[in-house]
Structure formats: C-alpha cells, structure tokens
C-alpha cells in the first residue's frame, strides 16, 4: 500500500515523471526504426529472395523476422504499455491530485486548521490558536462571517454577548468546515494512493524472466520452431487470462493498448475460444466485449439447463421424506431463477434470429458489457455504443437493484433516459448504460451500510477508465447518474478510487460518502443533485451531507414531488413513494408526471446545462 504523504504529493515533480514516460516512448520509437531497418534492409534487401534462394536463407529470413517480431512485442508490451503508459498515467493522476492539494492546503492554513494523523487517514482539526480564539470570544473574521455575527471589538458589549450565545455555532461551524476539508484531503490522498498502488502493480507484474527468443539456427531449428510458435501463442493467452483475472496490474488504457497490439487473428481467436477473457474486461472495445458476452450468456444458460436437468433427475430418485429432497428443491429453484433472469436479459437484447437487438425508439443497438448471477446479480447493458458516442450516461441504480431489474424496470428506466437524451440532443449520439455492476443492498437496512459502495468502487473506476480507453475519436461527455444508494456508490468511488467522469448526477441521495463536492475529484460545477421536496431520503442522510445542501458545494436541479399520500392517516406514503418518482409518469393516484426531472437530467447528460432549471 502506498505510504505517500500529502507533503510528498505536494512536492512531487510530476513533470519529471511524465518526461521519463516520454523518454521511454521516444526509445520505443527509435527501436522500432531498428526493426524496420532489419525488415527492409536485411530481409527484403541484402538477404532477399532475389539474392539468396535456399532453404537456409529462408530459415534465416524467418528467424530474423521472428526476432524482430519478438523485439517489437516486448517494446510494445513492456517499454511502451507497461512502463511509459504507467508513468504517464501516474503523472496525470498525481498532477490532478496535486492541483487539488494546491487549492486545499492554503485553505486549511488560512482557516487556522491543522493536518494531523497518519497518511492513511488524515484529520483536519482546529488549531490550538483557533480554539483559543473561539474560547476567548475573539473568533476570526471568516468564522464571524460564516455565522453571520459581527466580530467583537474586545469589550463585553452586545456583540460579545451575541457571540457568546452563538458559541456552539462558532464551534460547530468551524468543525463543520474542518470536516469538509478533511473529507477533501482524505479523498485526494485516497485517489493518489490508488494511483500509486496501480502504478506499482503494473510495474511489479512485468515478467521477471526475459521472453524466449526464436531458436538458434542449426540442426535442431526445425524441431524447436513449432514449440516456439506455440509458446508465443500461449503468451498471448496467458496475458489475456491474467488481465481477465485482474492479476496483470494493467489499467484499462494499458489493456486497450495491449488489445490493439494483437493481430486480428489473435483477437478473433480470443473472442471465439476464450470469451470469458474478453467479455468482462474494461479496455477492450465494446463490439468485441458484446460478442464475447453474448456467447458467455448463451453458454451460461445452456449450463444452467444442464444443471437443472441433473438436479431434477436426482430429485426424481429421492424420496420426498428424505431431508435431501427439500434441499434439492431449493437448489433447483435458485438455478431456475438464475436461468429465467438470464433468459429474460437475453430476450431484451437479442432478436429472434440471434442477432443483436436495437432499441426501436432510438435505433440504438444493445451492447452487453457484463453480467453475473452472484449475490443479487449484476448486469451492464448499454443502449448505444459508448465507444462511438458523443455522450455517455451511466445509470447506477440503488437499493434493490439486481439482475431481474436489469431486464425489467431498471432497463425500462435506462431506455427512457436514452429516449430523453435523444430528444434533448437530436444531432448527437448518447449511449445510456445501465451499470448494475455492483452487489446493491437488498433493503433499506442494508442500505445504511457503506460496504456495498466500497466494494463496488474499484469496478466503477475501472468502468469509467474503460470508457475513456476505448473511445474512438474525441472523448465522450461522460455522466454518472446515481439514484438513491446508487449515488452513494458513485460518490464513494469518486472520492476513494477516482472516476474518470465529466459529470456526477445524484438523484434522491442519502449522502455520497463525503460532505463536500470538492472531495469528488470532479469540477464542482459539474456535480449535480436533486431531491424532491417530499422525498423521505432528505430525512435520512446516513452517508454524509446531502449533495443538495448548499454547503455541499455542487449544483442542484428541480425534480417534482409527484406523489401524494393515499389517505391522511397514511401521511408517510407520499415521502416513501416520492423517493422513486423521478422518472414518473402520471395517473390519478400520482397526478403529476415528473417531466421536470426527466428533462433536466437529459440536459445535463447532453451538455446543455443552460437549459437546466
């Protein structure tokens, strides 16, 4: 784990790290010139077929070509992808957090706060001087301004008394501000440590032994060359497996570089023969992932059918009085549930003839970026291709989100977001992703625990990095839209791991894990929040300062409270129902459609903030 201190981060010469990366890139380019010369001057020149035609000459040309290939592969895999890209990514990440520190540390000092504690979890506390000033009724001007009191002039006049009676507010205000700075500092250092650890992992996972070279020319050449070619193929497979299993240490950008460095035949072979190494991997282009994931989905459904049949056969041989009978019944039920949910998902994204289905209203194809039946189940489905889209909106659902929802209500909501985005920006392509990529809490009790968000944070970070890595052309305008606990998921990932997003949108948030927009690593102007006036969630900020609060420091947009209590004695119904009313259509019971929330969301997603109200 990184032990970088805030002072080390502040003083780090990021330019030097970046320059080192540049140097490696330059080295790679220079070395590639050498292999090009080998091919053009030697293989196709002095040693060409025109000059030397014999079996030996053919072998020599082949051996030199393979040596050049090997050299280029190593340059690409190690010098470029591993070393240079790692240095560049680390420099970018450190510099971003350094910029935040340059803004934050002077604020901490100006307000007479102290940074204390270990680098793993800094505290920002009131300094002794600030304590003394408050206790002696001589608070600093900034604190008087924040509390709306006139700074006492040293005498026991009315202002002094007023300050005295506002003593709790003075302390509370100062502690509250220190707490916001603490959140901000901890978030900065968490992301910096994450970047440090990522860089260390990428370098650590470089193979310790140099790659094998083609066999030497000689009597055994013919015997060894086949094994060598097999070994080269195996290396690609091993690398793909390591990437999929998360042991390669490579970032999505590095994965993308590795993928682009493969031949078409290698890529096709991986998709066809090992879809499990392609489908779930951030950094591999969406088209390939979709193809692989559809194969995996077919296989998983077939596998479940086989399992169910086997269990049913076993059940048929088991007497109902046997305790094993009810166990088998429960197992079959669980398997059948998984099978039905996956089949429903397949039906939503696949035509009758097996081809990928498109969402008819917007004409955009569905892409399957991942699925899992573990826990409550997960699925990542995109309406439209995020690699080619102008805007990408990833919707992160909250409590109760599961695999069943990914082919039901959650996907319906995603489609409506896609439709609304197209309405708002007809000339642009907006891909709308249902990111049900974490194990969401099942109920409101579970939703008081931050662990679900913490466990999903690295995956959400990776997802955003993958969107960036696979973008064709200019980067998209990427928005993460959390609803309910989904906002906690988004905020926690942003503060602890960092998300590579342009906008964060928090709908009906119980708190996002930090008390200030400054801690989210995204420009505060691009942080948006909305909670309607009746939503119960405003009374349960269990995960920190509500992002709609003014002192959170982000923007807010209007959402209507469209639902009302059914009866006066069921007064709690309205607040409960209004937690889920943000995409409402109307009816007699809930008479107002939430047109305001839907249109506002679509404006933010498509970069038309001037229309938000």
Partner 1 sequence: MDTPPASEYTQAEAYAPVETAAAEAVAALHDFPGFEQRSWAEMPCSRRGVDDPDYTNIEVRYRFSIADSQTDLVRQQYVDSLREHWIGKGYRIVTDDAVEGTTRTDRNLVAHRADGVTLWYNVSGYVGLYIQSGCVPTSDIADIQYIPPTGGIRPGGKGDKVEEYFPGGIPVTQQAVNPFDSPESFEDQL
For partner 1, the binding residues (CB under 8 A) are: 352, 360-361, 399-400, 404-405, 408-410, 412-413, 415-416, 419, 422-427, 444, 536, 566, 573, 576-577, 579-581, 583-593, 595-596, 599, 602, 608, 610-611, 613
Minimum Å distance from CB 379 to partner 1? 15
Closest CB 353 distance from partner 1, rounded Å: 12
Nearer to partner 1, 457 or 597 (CB): 597
Whole-angstrom Cα Rg for the chain: 29
Residue 590 C-beta: closest distance to partner 1, Å: 6
Sole residue written with tokens 């020149």:
45
In the block, tokens 């001037």 appear at 610
Token pair of 155 as six digits: 């005498």
The minimum distance between CB 428 and partner 1, in angstroms, equals 9
Q: Which is nearer to partner 1, 128 or 347 (CB)?
A: 347
Which of 17, 19, 20 is CA-nearest to residue 4? 17
Question: Min. distance of Cβ 599 from partner 1 in angstroms?
Answer: 7
| Nearer residue to partner 1 within complex by CB, 263 or 360 | 360
Strand duo 391-396 + 364-372: pairing: unpaired
Smallest gap from residue 584 Cβ to partner 1 (A): 7
Nearer to partner 1, 30 or 611 (CB): 611
Task: Report how far residue 120's alpha carbon sits from residue 51's, in angstroms, rounded to the nearest whole number.
Answer: 67
Least Å distance between CB 587 and partner 1? 2
370 sits in which H/E element? strand 364-372
In this structure, what DSSP letter does residue 362 have? T
* Residue 549 C-beta: closest distance to partner 1, Å: 22
Cβ neighbours of residue 45 closer than 8 Å, sequence gap 6 or more: none
Buried b (16+ CB within 10 A) or exposed e, 340-350: ebbeebbebbb
Q: Which residue has the tokens 């209500």?
A: 409
Say if CB 544 and CB 516 are below 8 A apart.
Answer: no
Structure tokens at 578: 């209004």
Q: Which is nearer to partner 1, 282 or 560 (CB)?
A: 560
> Minimum distance between the CB of residue 335 and partner 1, rounded to whole angstroms?
20
For partner 1, give the closer residue by CB, 175 or 444: 444
List helix spans (H) across 497-609. Answer: 573-577, 595-605
Q: Which residue has the tokens 């978030």?
A: 187
Cβ distance 495 to 190 under 8 Å? yes
Do 192 and 120 touch, CB atoms closer than 8 A? Answer: no
d(CA 599, CA 414): 14
DSSP string for 165-177: HTHHHHHHHHHHH
Q: Cβ 390 to partner 1, closest distance in Å? A: 13
CB of 379 closer than 8 Å to CB of 370: yes
* Shortest distance in whole angstroms from residue 410 CB to partner 1: 7
Nearer to partner 1, 152 or 400 (CB): 400
Closer to partner 1 at the Cβ: 53 or 589?
589
Of the candidates 556, 395, 417, the residue with the CA atom closest to the CA atom of residue 482: 395
How does DSSP classify residue 610?
G
Q: Which residues pair with 555 in a beta bridge?
A: 528
Q: Are 429 and 359 in contact (CB under 8 A)?
A: no
Hey, what are 345's tokens? 């998902």
Name which of 192, 204, 272 is nearest 4 in CA terms: 192
CB 429 within 8 A of CB 387: no
Q: How far is the CB of 567 from partner 1 (least distance, A)?
A: 10
With respect to partner 1, which residue has the nearer C-beta, 220 or 570?
Answer: 570
Chain-centroid distance of CA 548 in Å reads 23
Contact status, residue 559 vs residue 596, Cβ threshold 8 Å: yes
Closer to partner 1 at the Cβ: 476 or 596?
596
Question: Which residue's CB is nearer to partner 1, number 104 or number 434?
Answer: 434
Would you say 173 or 477 has its CB closer to partner 1? Answer: 477
């Amino acid at each position: 784990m990184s032990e970088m201190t805030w002072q080390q981060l502040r003083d780090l010469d990021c330019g030097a790290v970046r320059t080192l990366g540049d140097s490696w890139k330059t080295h790679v380019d220079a070395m590639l010139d050498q292999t090009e010369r080998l091919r053009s001057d030697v293989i196709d020149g002095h040693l060409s077929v025109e000059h030397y035609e014999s079996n030996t000459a053919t072998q020599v040309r082949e051996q030199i070509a393979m040596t050049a290939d090997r050299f280029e592969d190593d340059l690409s895999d190690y010098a470029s992808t591993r070393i240079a890209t790692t240095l560049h990514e680390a420099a970018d990440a450190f510099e971003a957090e350094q910029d935040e520190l340059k803004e934050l540390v002077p604020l901490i000092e100006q307000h007479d706060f102290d940074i204390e504690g270990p680098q793993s979890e800094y505290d920002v506390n009131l300094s002794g001087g600030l304590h003394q000033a408050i206790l002696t009724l001589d608070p600093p001007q900034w604190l008087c301004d924040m509390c709306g009191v006139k700074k006492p002039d040293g005498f026991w006049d009315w202002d002094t008394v007023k300050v005295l009676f506002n003593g709790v507010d003075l302390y509370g205000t100062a502690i509250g501000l220190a707490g916001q700075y603490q959140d901000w500092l901890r978030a900065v250092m968490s992301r910096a440590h994450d970047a440090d650890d990522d860089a260390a992992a990428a370098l650590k996972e470089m193979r310790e032994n140099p790659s094998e070279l083609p066999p030497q020319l000689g009597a055994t050449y013919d015997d060894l060359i086949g094994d060598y070619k097999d070994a080269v193929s195996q290396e690609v497979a091993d690398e793909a497996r390591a990437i999929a299993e998360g042991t390669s240490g490579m970032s999505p950008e590095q994965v993308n570089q590795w993928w682009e460095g493969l031949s078409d035949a290698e890529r096709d072979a991986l998709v066809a023969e090992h879809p499990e190494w392609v489908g779930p991997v951030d950094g591999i282009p969406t088209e390939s992932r979709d193809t692989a994931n559809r194969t995996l989905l077919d296989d998983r459904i077939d596998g479940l059918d086989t399992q169910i049949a086997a269990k049913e056969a076993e059940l048929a041989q088991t007497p109902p009085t046997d305790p094993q009978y009810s166990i088998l019944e429960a197992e079959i039920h669980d398997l059948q549930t998984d099978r039905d949910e996956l089949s429903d998902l397949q039906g939503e994204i696949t035509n009758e003839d097996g081809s990928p289905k498109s969402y008819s209203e917007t004409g955009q194809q569905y892409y399957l970026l991942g699925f899992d039946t573990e826990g409550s189940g997960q699925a990542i489905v995109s309406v439209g291709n995020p690699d080619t889209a102008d805007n990408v909106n990833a919707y992160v659902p909250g409590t109760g989100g599961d695999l069943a929802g990914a082919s039901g209500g959650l996907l319906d909501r995603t489609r409506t977001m896609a439709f609304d985005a197209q309405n708002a920006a007809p000339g642009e392509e907006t891909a709308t992703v249902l990111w049900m990529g974490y194990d969401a809490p099942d109920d409101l009790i579970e939703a008081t625990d931050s662990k679900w968000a913490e466990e999903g944070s690295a995956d959400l970070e990776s997802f955003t990095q993958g969107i960036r890595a696979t973008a064709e052309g200019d980067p998209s305008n990427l928005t993460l839209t959390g609803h309910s606990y989904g906002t906690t998921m988004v905020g926690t990932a942003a503060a602890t791991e960092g998300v590579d997003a342009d906008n964060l949108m928090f709908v009906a948030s119980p708190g996002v894990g930090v008390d200030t927009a400054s801690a989210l690593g995204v420009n505060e102007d691009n942080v948006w929040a909305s909670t309607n006036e009746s939503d119960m969630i405003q009374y349960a900020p269990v995960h920190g300062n509500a992002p709609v609060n003014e002192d959170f420091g982000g923007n807010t947009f209007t959402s209507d409270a469209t639902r009302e209590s059914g009866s006066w004695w069921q007064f709690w119904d309205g607040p409960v129902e209004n937690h889920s009313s943000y995409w409402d259509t109307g009816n007699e019971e809930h008479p107002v459609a939430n047109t305001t929330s839907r249109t506002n969301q679509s404006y933010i997603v498509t970069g038309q903030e001037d229309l938000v109200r």
